[in-house]
Amino acid sequence: MSLLTASRNLVDNLSHHVQKTLYRKNLIKLAPLYNHAKWGDTHRFAQHYQKHFAPLSRKKLNILEIGVGGYDDSTSGGDSLRMWKTYFPNSNIYGIDIVEKQGLEEERIKIFKGSQTDEAFLKEVINETGELDIIIDDGCSINEHRIKTFNILFPFLKDGGIYAEENTHISYWPSLGSNWSEKGEKSVYLANCINVGGSIDLNASHTIMAMYKRLADGLNYQEFLNPGYSPSYFDKHIVEVHFYHNLVIVYKGENNEGSNIIENNTLQPHILQELGVNSLEELAIDFTTATSASNKV
């Protein structure tokens, strides 16, 4: 390497470090410094994360990101983890990946190897990290796996915690079928693309977007006119759902505001009185199509 090249590299590295320091509170400018391919003009998550994470950036948090990056290469990835480490200077940053990535660990960054659908593994992670303040799922591109991960991990969020689901476009991609299975054995990336398990049917019930649409309904579970309805864990512990292009952000809390019309999923007596009836049955509403609750979504 020539002296001129070495000097240029030194200047570039110094400039890069200065920019990271200057922009450490602004994810919109900070993110592309770590991985422009992911966080540049075509990946617009940073502006939304800035809005939701800025009030938390100086707090001491436990943050978990699923998917370290770099696919099958054990020496590649970790850009987002390092970005979160800069943006959250007082927090512990944890990563999960199906590929061994522990060589990318550094101070305040710890990486666990395992599957995001392995409940026993995920509970071992939580035993080490403690309850989490932020969970970001940028992992497997298979809808079924993402849904299972949410069901397992969301209960381990603290009240006030945030769950972020990236790359919701996978809801709209169907699997390519058995003819592609041999190609899918070649890499994690190809397997994810081939077995994504979405649907071109926007009303399909098995996709991650369908799950989050149901969770949005659950915000209003106390308004459901459905006698005998049993609210799910998610009904009772989700207080906000934010939808963006390719991103959903969910806040955990106590969803117990109540209703001024409905009580125990039936009309309150004074409403029945206003309607001039003594019971809900007199309204002749067909409840056979009402959705039943489940603790899993």
Total Cβ atoms within 10 A of residue 257: 11
Ranges 16-20, 141-145, 181-185, most confident: 141-145
C-alpha to C-alpha distance for 84 and 57, rounded to whole angstroms: 9
User: How much is the average pLDDT of 140-145?
Assistant: 94
β-sheet bridge partners, residue 163: 135, 250
Q: Which domains does the chain have, with CATH numbers?
A: 45-283 (3.40.50.150)
Torsion angles phi and psi, residue 161, rounded to 5: -75, 165
What's the pTM value of the predicted model, to 2 decimals? 0.90
User: Is the pLDDT assigned to residue 10 strictly greater than 80?
Assistant: no
C-alpha to C-alpha distance for 48 and 59, rounded to whole angstroms: 19
pLDDT at 78: 96
Q: By mean pLDDT, which of 18-27, 37-46, 51-60 is the weakest?
A: 37-46
The answer to whether 296 touches 218, Cβ cutoff 8 Å, is: no
